[in-house]
Amino acid sequence: MIKPLGRSKVAVAAALGLGVALLGCNEEEHKKQLADLQAQADKRLEEVEKAGKERVAELEKQIESLKGEVAAAAEKAKADADEAASKAQASVEEAEKETEKALERARIAYKGEAKARYQALNNDLAKLTAQARKIPAKSKPAYDKLIKNILALQKDISKDIAAYDKATLETLTATKRKLDVDLAKYKQHVRAVKAKVPGA
């Protein structure tokens, strides 16, 4: 990850870059040009920071919207599954078809909910890893170990989410339970990373 330059570093870099061109000017012109460069660098930095904050806010709104959609889809899937179960008594063959449809909707709803929860944790982790440079050297090995464990958990969670595609009525609950356990572990690891990042 490329680390952004601090405000003072941007100004110094801009000043040094044009310093050679300014050698022929008098000292008063140097000061004026350096002040102009500083003002331009500060303005550009503020614009970039503002755009970044706006993008993060927009993404957070999208995540909240997706959570609502997933919750509504899960409720609808449950209602649809209940309705399908009551209609299933009319015919065994029809019942099997309806059950399969309900199962597919439940898979989709559970998978959508899992993806939203997973994405929210990934976003929290991304914010923390962006601040990793603040971690003191003595805490860095513990941080690195947490990140290594998180990477393993992310693989497990991806497998758990993919397992919904093959889940049957008998295995759907166990699949969800395993995913919930792995997501809880992931959340604990993210909290542990947060504890390592000063000011997070």
Residues of the chain with pLDDT > 70, as a percent, come to: 84
Lowest mean pLDDT among 34-43, 94-103, 161-170: 34-43
d(CA 167, CA 175): 7
Q: Which are the contacts of 3, defined by CB distance < 8 A and separation ≥ 6?
A: 133
Average pLDDT over the chain reads 82
Whether the predicted model's global pTM rises above the 0.75 cut? no
The count of other CB atoms within 10 Å of the CB of residue 183 is: 20
d(CA 42, CA 10): 8
Higher pLDDT, 15 or 30: 30
- Lookup: tokens for 159: 């497998």
Over residues 20-40, the pLDDT tens digits come to 454 555 788 888 888 888 888
CB of 150 closer than 8 Å to CB of 189: yes
d(CA 118, CA 150): 12
Helix or strand (DSSP H, E) at 84: helix 27-87
Answer yes or no: is pLDDT of 141 > 60. Answer: yes
